Amino acid sequence: MAITSVNFKGFNIKNPIMTASGTYGYNDEYDDFIDVSSLGAIVTKAISLKPREGNKHNRITETKAGMINSIGLENVGIEKFLTDKLPVLKKKNIEFVINIAGSTIEEYIELAKKCETNKIKAIELNVSCPNVKAGCLEFGTDENSLYELVSQVRKEFTGFLIVKLTPNVTSIEKLGLVAQNAGADAVSAINTLKGVSIKFNYFNGRFNKTIVQGGYSGSGIKPVAISAVYRLSKVIDIPIIGIGGIETLEDVLEFFAAGADAVQVGTANFTHPEIAGKLVRELEEYIIKNGFKDLEELKKKLRK
């Protein structure tokens, strides 16, 4: 068996294939399709301090190269997550990261405290969701706000701290440096791009339109994501988790070549629910077939 483990600071995973927040539920919803425990880790959908109903309008639409979502961070809230969802994760021995989202710094701090109290190994700060009215993106696009948020969370949480970066900025490199300097252990990049879908038909002398505005994800954003990871790798020293349009092993290897230490599979889970497990197997086979000592040797040769 190939050695594919990734040794993060205080958070070690058996392989670099993770699942992206918002695409894999809370814990084991994909059990009917794959052995979820075979993955490196899953990232839960975003958890807020209080339950959220999400947006009431059209939430999702397909595009030619992905989809646009405007879910609005619907979730059960941290208390119900801790009582109902966390025990399942622990029982099934699944490595996981809790994605947390707030409208204020105080909400993020409270969430971090609860994660610390419950001995959560890793959290991912959602500072980059483009389809909520307050919080998240406000922190992820402003250097001073991001520094204050990450540094305050760092004081409360001793586990592995990931900051999920937005591509909807002029310089993702600056924000990566801010996250690093504020105490983040890693960054994940990228979250969704801002997108709008307009679908219409002409009937009885008028256009009937359906407009969905939200976060664009899927295969179409991969070049943007690869660029972000590559540029971040030139300026920060902490690990980078690549996200955006991953569907094949070749996509995974591209992210490694750009500087990613692990990857998260997102939108592809909806169309191919077995995809993450398939990528785990294909990566192991590729390492063995080509005679690499382990995953780290493969990454080094990809980056030469």
Q: Is 25 helix (H, G, I), strand (E, B) or coil?
A: coil
CATH number at residue 84: 3.20.20.70
Query: Is the model more confident about 135 or about 173?
Result: 173
pLDDT band per the 50, 70, 90 thresholds, residue 135 = very low
Spatial separation of the C-alpha atoms in residues 65 and 48, rounded to whole Å: 30
Q: Mark out the alpha helices in 9-156 (DSSP H runs).
A: 78-80, 86-91, 105-117, 137-140, 143-156
Question: In whole angstroms, what separates CA 21 from the centre of its chain?
Answer: 5
- The verdict on residue 285 lying in a domain is yes
- The verdict on residue 208 lying in a domain is no
pLDDT at residue 64, rounded to an integer: 87
Reported as a single tens digit per residue, the pLDDT across 276-286 is 999 999 999 99
- The verdict on residue 198 lying in a domain is no
Q: Contact at 8 Å (CB) between 52 and 113?
A: no
Spatial separation of the C-alpha atoms in residues 268 and 65, rounded to whole Å: 11
Tokens of 248: 């094949």
Between strands 186-189 and 160-164, the pairing is parallel
Q: What's the chain's average pLDDT? A: 92
Residue 285: which domain range? 6-56+69-193+216-302
- The verdict on residue 20 lying in a domain is yes
Tokens of 291: 């005679």
Q: How many domains does the chain have?
A: 1
- The verdict on residue 203 lying in a domain is no
Please give the full DSSP string across 160-172, using - where no structure is assigned. Answer: EEEEEPPSSSS-H
- The verdict on residue 201 lying in a domain is no
Reported as a single tens digit per residue, the pLDDT across 265-277 is 999 999 999 999 9
pLDDT band per the 50, 70, 90 thresholds, residue 70 = confident
pTM of the model: 0.93
- The verdict on residue 158 lying in a domain is yes
Out of 123, 129, 275, 298, the active site residue is: 129
| 1 sits in which H/E element | none
Residues in the chain: 304
Reported as a single tens digit per residue, the pLDDT across 200-245 is 999 999 999 988 888 999 999 999 999 999 999 999 999 999 999 9
Catalytic-residue membership of 129: yes
Give the CA distances from residue 290 to residues 256, 286, 294, 296, 297, in Å, rounded to whole numbers and listed in that order: 16, 6, 11, 14, 11
Spatial separation of the C-alpha atoms in residues 304 and 275, rounded to whole Å: 28
Q: Contact at 8 Å (CB) between 253 and 302?
A: yes
Q: Interhelix angle for 249-258 vs 275-289, to 10°? A: 70
pLDDT band per the 50, 70, 90 thresholds, residue 102 = very high
Candidate from 124-138, 154-168, 228-242 with smallest mean pLDDT = 124-138
- The verdict on residue 81 lying in a domain is yes
Spatial separation of the C-alpha atoms in residues 148 and 151, rounded to whole Å: 5
For residue 37, the 8-state DSSP code is G
